[in-house]
Chain A
Amino acid sequence: GEDVEQSLFLSVREGDSSVINCTYTDSSSTYLYWYKQEPGAGLQLLTYIFSNMDMKQDQRLTVLLNKKDKHLSLRIADTQTGDSAIYFCAEKDSSYKLIFGSGTRLLVRP
């Protein structure tokens, strides 16, 4: 079945760039997503990318998609302490569901 994998933890210094990586297995995925979860809150959609795109940029966020390697990344430029959260990668399966990774906890050090 489909599977989405992420590293569990990333620590960066404030002002540096953060890169969160994700791998997925379903090559037929049409959309891939990044969500952010702050402590005690629901998931907030950050951005998504269509599978025929290689890159999508939205202000400080850059999403890179490598379909050949089934690899997705989220780059956050000029990382701030408010970016500390858990980031989830997800892919759309063939039905009504999204398949989520286990989440990457980003810690931004002052």
Chain B
Amino acid sequence: SQTIHQWPATLVQPVGSPLSLECTVEGTSNPNLYWYRQAAGRGLQLLFYSVGIGQISSEVPQNLSASRPQDRQFILSSKKLLLSDSGFYLCAWRGLAGGPNEQFFGPGTRLTVL
């Protein structure tokens, strides 16, 4: 069966510091991968998605970036965090093409920028 992991679970960082959040998927090959941000009490905002190694599509211009160095690894990064980067970051992977294409979510990373 497939599982998705996110690391770390919680993070407190000062403004201006760098960021690296990791997402890994097990039990599937060549998944579509997604990064979302959920601000407090709000819905989900799609940040990036990837259909393959090295292929990144950005949905929202900002000081964040994403990379996919391996088939089942998706990394969200920033060189300098802003206060507005605080939120709950969720990684997701997509099911097989041709089916319902549902997305399956990881447990999330709670980021607080002080």
Contact = CB atoms under 8 A, between A and B. Distances in A.
Given A41-B108, A96-B51, A31 B101 contact: yes
A42 B107 contact: yes
Interface in A20-74: 31, 33, 35, 40-45, 48, 50
Contacts of B46: 97
B94 A96 contact: yes
A80 interface: no
Contacts of A43: 44, 90, 92, 105
Contacts of B43: 88, 100-103
Contacts of A44: 105
Contacts of A96: 32, 49, 51, 94
Interface SS of B by simple majority = strand
Contacts, number: 45
B107 A50 contact: no
B107 A98 contact: no
A42 B108 contact: yes
A41 B107 contact: yes
Interface SS of A by simple majority = strand
Nearest to A43: B105
A96 to B, nearest CB: 5
Contacts of A41: 107-108
B102 interface: yes
A88 B94 contact: no
Given A42-B90, A42-B108, A96-B51, A88 B100 contact: no
A100 B47 CA distance: 13
B42 A102 contact: yes
Given A41-B108, A88-B43, A97-B34, 9 more contacts: A33-B100, A35-B105, A40-B108, A42-B106, A43-B92, A45-B102, A96-B32, A96-B51, A97-B46
